């Protein structure tokens, strides 16, 4: 008989060993220049400060288990970053999270935990939604099919971008160039452009909204800028949504539960 | 207040690691700007990753920001890609806290931790939009200051720096702030720069090079004399008497991007009296001042809780010497808030004080890297450098580590030491081989990394009179070791480029004339000379030739006893005749004991300033030879001759 299984199944939450936190968080302002690996480190420190009962990898140098959605390129902002954190199932009591370590003595509802984590995170990062759920299903990274982006084009003319967009959408090909080692690949990314439109202007130039495929490869806003307005530069780009498919429907892994409490982002 | 952020932001997507330039660290101060306050820009003249963890800079940052009438921000040398973008966009050097232009600060102060950053110092002054030479700057321009270990020979940078600070900065920084604050209130009118510098030159521990005349006789230095009668002829270093009064940093900065030493750092003691003759840090930071164990415990606990780090470094010049180190490590790992998941780094370890007990404590959590520094390959050589550890001490420490589960460790050696023979150099390979053999008794994966540095004689040490080895000779010695360990797959050899060692030698013991050389190298684009991708010895050779100076005379020449050294007017407490005697003892193979556990031999560091060691334990930690070179564990005598006490010491 499997001892581990028998002990776990007796847990009152009924989820056995499989319980995790799923977070949706934003990354806005100066911290957009922080790279993906560094974001993981920042979140790890915040989890430790709050005493969230995380789990660790095996081995010589155990690390906190974290699994992110699609990596966000450095310099991009986001309102839709996702993170799964497997928890120690023994620490879940009546749907609340019992903290350890520096958080010893604290028991939080998910909403309280969300606010506590926000206190511990640097300015610019904010947990917008947080749920406790059974582990399982495909990983975030595998299940995301597309992302919606909002970005401005520094130095581009609204009129000419508008024309370029219309032409691109009418055509069956949108040719992108990709540098791979020493060769330059040209490929048609038309099928990966689900939505593309101008949505106002910023002080830098026209604002564009685009929904771009994450499969078979991730298409980035910077590629579109080169196609739509050669010579212009990507201004500030923000990922506003990551989309998955659930029972044939396109939806977000988590939607923001509350209206965002926007921290001071100077 | 002007923020350069809107102009900097568009440049950042074009450069490597842009997070280095955003600030936003936990612990950073962004709401401290006070238009009436005296402002400091504390600048580390190397990359953010190297500079951010610097404890000296962080301590001063906090002390200044606690004052209502002052504030401090930080700056780091931008990497060459951003520098090019900044120059193209005419964007000056900025603070990372609020992105204000450097030239808006009253004082720009540099931390000097290594000589090869000197060209970066000049570059930063230029990037700030100021004239690089102090004599050409306008009255109201920022004052340029410098401190840190390299400031103990300030002369090579004397042309560029308005004032230097000698020794511990905790107290003197406030005295400087007062003087500069008064100057600020006068509105910095024409002619006032000389007045404020004159006033600063009267603060103990502050050296204002423009207030001193240098007299040469041909290549020989004759004297460095004050220009005014109310300015001291020698500048005395500053020393804080008790580390317990300064529990800083209270809020260590937590960077958002990975830096070197990315962990909590708690300084457990300052100063070292082991008396290793090559070691400048050990000479200029005397006496030993231990932090009380209870304060360490509190700083560790509060620091880990505030930062969320899972690693803490207990730092000092030789951490295993701390009284009761085992208990401090055990307390740290047993801190309940960490759930047993905190690793302890002991960055600087004497092999004779690293015992199984300490190894066992450290290894209870994640094992951190271990570095031992035998420094020399033979007992003869270690007597000369006064690193009195026996081979058995080393093997004992290595055995402690392997037996407690470590697979690899790093051994640090110097080559090019005074009177070093090939047998001494080859001894490095023997030690390394014996170490991995001990390791093989415990694990199949046993290995050692041997790190070999070329020796650069440093000011204020007994070896300051020694002529540095030529780069060809250093390379030959490296090759000796390399050929001997080449077949041993368990030994990895790393060495410092002999060319860089030579350039370091120019600035280490240079005089004021070396300023021209530094400026020449900088003008030819020689920045980031600490980085192999940018270092170029030919630039330095060309600069020496252009300035009519001899590399051989500055670097490879043995100095005479009666020679005036360029830093003789800077006083680290140590009597010059003590240093000379210690140099003679070195050549004779005499050892010198650690005075924290034995009676004083009056080097001057305590007696000159009326201070004493602050050490919790009157006896050395257990095990090994404890600097006497004698096996204290078994009572067996190792033949090291200690110099008879009566004839040692000062006047």
ipTM: 0.92
The pLDDT of residue B641 is above 90 = no
Q: Give per-residue burial for B409-436: e unless 16+ CB within 10 Å, then b.
A: bebbbbbbbbebeeebbbbbbbbbeebb
Residues B159-184 have a mean pLDDT of: 98
Q: Given an 8 Å threshold on Cβ–Cβ distance, is A30 in contact with B304?
A: no
What's the rounded Cα separation, in Å, for the pair A222 and A235?
A: 9
| Residues in chain A closer than 8 A to B253 (CB atoms) | none
The pLDDT of residue B521 is above 50 = yes
A40 Cα to chain B: minimum distance (Å): 10
The pLDDT of residue B632 is above 80 = no
The pLDDT of residue B635 is above 60 = no
The pLDDT of residue B161 is above 80 = yes
Q: Which helix (H) or strand (E) holds A237?
A: strand A233-246
**Residue B339 in contact with partner chain A when CB distance is under 8 A:** yes
**Residue A53 in contact with partner chain B when CB distance is under 8 A:** no
Q: Which of B13, B307, B337 sits opposite A75 (nearest CB)?
A: B13
pLDDT value of residue A59: 78
Mutate to test the interface with A, among B5, B13, B301 (most CBs of A within 10 A): B13
Give me the residue label for tokens 């990062």: A125
Q: Given an 8 Å threshold on Cβ–Cβ distance, is A104 in contact with B336?
A: yes
pLDDT confidence bin for B650, thresholds 50/70/90:
very low
pLDDT confidence bin for B98, thresholds 50/70/90:
very high
For the beta carbon of residue B480, count every other beta carbon within 10 angstroms.
17
pLDDT confidence bin for B628, thresholds 50/70/90:
low
pLDDT confidence bin for A16, thresholds 50/70/90:
low
What's the rounded Cα separation, in Å, for the pair B407 and A192?
A: 50
| Residues in chain A closer than 8 A to B22 (CB atoms) | 30-31, 33-34
ω into A216 cis (within 30 of 0): yes
State the burial class of residue B338 (Cβ atoms within 10 Å of its Cβ: 0-12, 13-18, 19+).
buried
What's the rounded Cα separation, in Å, for the pair A7 and A17?
A: 9
| Residues in chain B closer than 8 A to A40 (CB atoms) | none
pLDDT value of residue A257: 65
The pLDDT of residue B621 is above 90 = no
Selected residues 297-326 of chain B with any CB under 8 Å from a CB in chain A: 304-310
Q: Given an 8 Å threshold on Cβ–Cβ distance, is B254 in contact with A233?
A: no
- Helices (H), ranges, chain A: 3-9, 36-50, 110-120, 140-143, 158-170, 221-228
Quick one: DSSP state of residue A152? E
Q: pLDDT tens digits, residue range A220-265?
A: 999 999 999 999 999 999 999 999 988 888 899 998 864 343 333 3
Which of B244, B315, B321 is closest to B626 using CA atoms? B321
pLDDT value of residue B564: 97
pLDDT value of residue B647: 44
CB pairs under 8 A between A and B: 73
The pLDDT of residue B238 is above 60 = yes
Q: What's the CA angle centered on B327, arms B274 and B280, to 5 degrees? A: 20
Q: Given an 8 Å threshold on Cβ–Cβ distance, is A33 in contact with B258?
A: no
CA dihedral A195, A197, A202, A203 (to 10 degrees): 120
| % of chain A with per-residue pLDDT over 90 | 70
Q: Which residues contact B90 (CB under 8 A, 6 or more apart)?
A: none
Q: Which residues contact B292 (CB under 8 A, 6 or more apart)?
A: B244, B616
State the burial class of residue B526 (Cβ atoms within 10 Å of its Cβ: 0-12, 13-18, 19+).
buried
Joined together, the tokens standing for residue B427 give 């001894």
B50 Cα to chain A: minimum distance (Å): 16
The pLDDT of residue B315 is above 60 = yes
Q: Which helix (H) or strand (E) holds A144?
A: strand A144-154
**Which of A51-65, A119-133, B633-647 is most confident?**
A119-133
Q: pLDDT tens digits, residue range A131-181?
A: 999 888 788 888 899 999 999 999 999 999 999 999 999 999 998 888 777
Q: Given an 8 Å threshold on Cβ–Cβ distance, is A101 in contact with B13?
A: no
What's the rounded Cα separation, in Å, for the pair A235 and A202?
A: 10
Angle, in degrees to the nearest 10, between helices B498-508 and B537-546: 40
* Averaged confidence pLDDT in chain A: 87
Q: Which of A48, A51, A75 sits opposite B12 (nearest CB)?
A: A75
pLDDT confidence bin for B634, thresholds 50/70/90:
very low
Q: Which of B5, B305, B341 sits opposite A49 (nearest CB)?
A: B305
Q: Which residue of A has its CA nearest to B339?
A: A101
Helix %, strand %, coil % for chain A, to 5? 25, 35, 35
Quick one: DSSP state of residue B279? -
The pLDDT of residue B629 is above 80 = no
| Residues in chain B closer than 8 A to A38 (CB atoms) | 19, 256-258
| % of chain B with per-residue pLDDT over 70 | 95
Q: pLDDT tens digits, residue range B327-386?
A: 999 999 999 998 888 999 888 778 877 777 888 888 887 778 888 999 999 999 999 999
pLDDT value of residue B597: 82
Residues B50-54 have a mean pLDDT of: 97
Mutate to test the interface with A, among B308, B337, B363, B368 (most CBs of A within 10 A): B308
pLDDT confidence bin for A64, thresholds 50/70/90:
very high
* Averaged confidence pLDDT in chain B: 93
State the burial class of residue B31 (Cβ atoms within 10 Å of its Cβ: 0-12, 13-18, 19+).
exposed
Quick one: DSSP state of residue B365? S
**Residue A155 in contact with partner chain B when CB distance is under 8 A:** no
Q: Which helix (H) or strand (E) holds A213?
A: strand A206-213
Which of A216, A238, A236, A222 is closest to A144 using CA atoms? A216
What's the rounded Cα separation, in Å, for the pair A173 and A151?
A: 22
Q: pLDDT tens digits, residue range B101-131?
A: 999 999 999 999 999 999 999 999 999 999 9
């Amino acid at each position: 008989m499997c001892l581990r299984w028998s002990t776990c199944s007796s847990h009152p939450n009924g989820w056995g060993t499989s319980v995790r936190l799923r977070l949706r968080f934003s990354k806005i302002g100066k911290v957009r220049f922080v790279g993906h690996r560094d974001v993981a480190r920042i979140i790890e420190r915040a989890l430790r400060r709050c005493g969230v009962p995380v789990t660790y990898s095996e081995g010589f140098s155990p690390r906190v288990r974290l699994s992110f959605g699609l990596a966000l390129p450095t310099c991009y902002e986001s309102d839709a970053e996702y993170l799964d954190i497997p928890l120690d199932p023994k620490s879940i009591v009546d749907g609340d999270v019992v903290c350890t370590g520096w958080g010893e003595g604290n028991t939080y509802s998910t909403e309280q935990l969300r606010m506590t984590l926000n206190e511990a995170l640097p300015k610019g990062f904010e947990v917008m939604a947080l749920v406790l759920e059974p582990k399982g299903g495909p990983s975030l990274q595998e299940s995301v099919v597309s992302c919606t982006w909002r970005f401005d084009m520094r130095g581009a003319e609204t009129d000419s971008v508008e024309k370029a967009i219309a032409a691109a959408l009418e055509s069956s090909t949108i040719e992108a160039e990709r540098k791979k080692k020493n060769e330059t690949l040209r490929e048609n990314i038309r099928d990966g452009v689900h939505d593309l439109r101008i949505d106002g202007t910023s002080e830098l130039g026209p604002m564009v909204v685009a929904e771009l495929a994450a499969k078979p490869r991730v298409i980035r806003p910077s590629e579109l800028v080169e196609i739509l307005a050669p010579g212009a530069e990507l201004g500030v780009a923000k990922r506003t949504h990551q989309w998955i498919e659930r029972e044939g429907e396109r939806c977000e892994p988590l939607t923001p539960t509350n209206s965002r409490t926007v921290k001071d982002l100077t | 207040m002007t923020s350069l952020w809107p102009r900097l932001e568009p440049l950042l997507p074009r450069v490597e690691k842009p997070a280095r330039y955003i600030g936003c660290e936990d612990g950073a101060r962004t709401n401290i700007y006070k238009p009436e306050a005296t402002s400091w820009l504390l600048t580390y003249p190397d990359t953010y990753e190297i500079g951010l963890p610097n404890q000296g800079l962080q301590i001063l940052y906090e002390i200044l920001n606690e004052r209502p009438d002052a504030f401090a921000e930080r700056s780091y040398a931008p990497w060459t890609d951003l520098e090019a973008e900044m120059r193209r966009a005419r964007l000056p050097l900025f603070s990372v806290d609020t992105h204000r232009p450097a030239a808006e600060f009253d004082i720009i102060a540099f931390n000097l931790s290594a000589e090869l950053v000197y060209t970066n110092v000049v570059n930063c002054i230029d990037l700030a939009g100021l004239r690089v030479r102090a004599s050409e700057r306008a009255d109201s321009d920022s004052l340029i200051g410098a401190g840190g270990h390299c400031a103990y020979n300030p002369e090579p940078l004397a042309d560029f720096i308005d004032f230097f600070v000698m020794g511990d900065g905790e107290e003197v920084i406030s005295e400087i702030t007062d003087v500069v604050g008064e100057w600020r209130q006068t509105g910095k009118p024409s002619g006032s720069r000389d007045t404020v510098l004159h006033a600063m030159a009267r603060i103990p521990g502050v050296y204002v090079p423009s207030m001193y005349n240098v007299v040469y006789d041909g290549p020989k230095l004759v004297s460095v004399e004050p220009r005014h009668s109310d300015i001291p002829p020698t500048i005395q270093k500053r020393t804080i008497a008790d580390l317990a009064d300064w529990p800083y940093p209270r809020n260590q900065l937590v960077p958002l991007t990975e830096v070197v030493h990315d962990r909590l750092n708690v300084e457990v003691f300052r100063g070292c009296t082991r008396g290793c003759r090559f070691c400048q840090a050990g000479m200029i930071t005397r006496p030993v001042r231990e932090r009380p164990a209870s304060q360490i415990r509190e700083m560790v606990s509060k620091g880990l809780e505030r930062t969320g780090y899972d690693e803490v470094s207990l730092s000092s010049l030789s951490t295993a010497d701390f009284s009761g180190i085992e208990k401090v490590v055990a307390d740290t790992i047993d801190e309940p808030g960490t759930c047993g998941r905190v690793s302890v780094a002991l960055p600087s370890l004497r092999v004779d004080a690293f015992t199984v007990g300490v190894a066992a404590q450290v290894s209870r959590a994640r094992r951190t890297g271990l570095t031992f520094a035998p420094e020399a390959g033979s007992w003869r050589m270690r007597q000369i450098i006064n690193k009195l550890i026996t081979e058995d001490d080393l093997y004992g420490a290595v055995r402690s580590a392997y037996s407690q589960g470590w697979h690899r460790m790093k051994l640090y050696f110097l080559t090019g030491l005074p009177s070093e023979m090939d047998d001494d150099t080859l001894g490095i390979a023997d030690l390394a081989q014996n170490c991995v053999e001990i390791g093989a008794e415990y694990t199949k994966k046993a290995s050692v990394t041997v790190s070999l540095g070329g020796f650069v004689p440093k000011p204020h040490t007994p070896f300051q009179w020694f002529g540095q080895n030529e780069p060809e000779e250093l390379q030959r010695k490296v090759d000796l070791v390399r050929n001997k360990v080449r077949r041993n797959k368990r030994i990895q050899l790393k060495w410092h480029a002999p060319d860089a060692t030579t350039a370091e030698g120019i600035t280490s013991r240079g005089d004021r004339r070396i300023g021209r050389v530094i400026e020449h190298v900088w003008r030819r684009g020689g920045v980031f000379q600490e980085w192999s991708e940018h270092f170029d010895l030919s630039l330095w050779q060309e600069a020496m030739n252009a300035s009519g100076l001899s590399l051989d005379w500055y670097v490879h020449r043995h100095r005479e006893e009666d020679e005036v050294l360029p830093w003789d007017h800077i006083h680290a407490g140590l009597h010059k005749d003590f240093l000379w005697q210690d140099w003679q003892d070195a050549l004779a193979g005499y050892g010198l004991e650690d005075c924290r556990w034995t009676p004083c031999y009056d080097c001057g560091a305590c007696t000159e300033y009326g201070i004493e060691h602050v050490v919790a334990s009157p006896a050395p930690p257990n095990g090994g030879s404890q600097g006497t070179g004698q096996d204290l564990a078994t009572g067996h005598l190792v033949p090291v001759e200690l110099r008879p006490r009566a004839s040692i010491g000062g006047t």
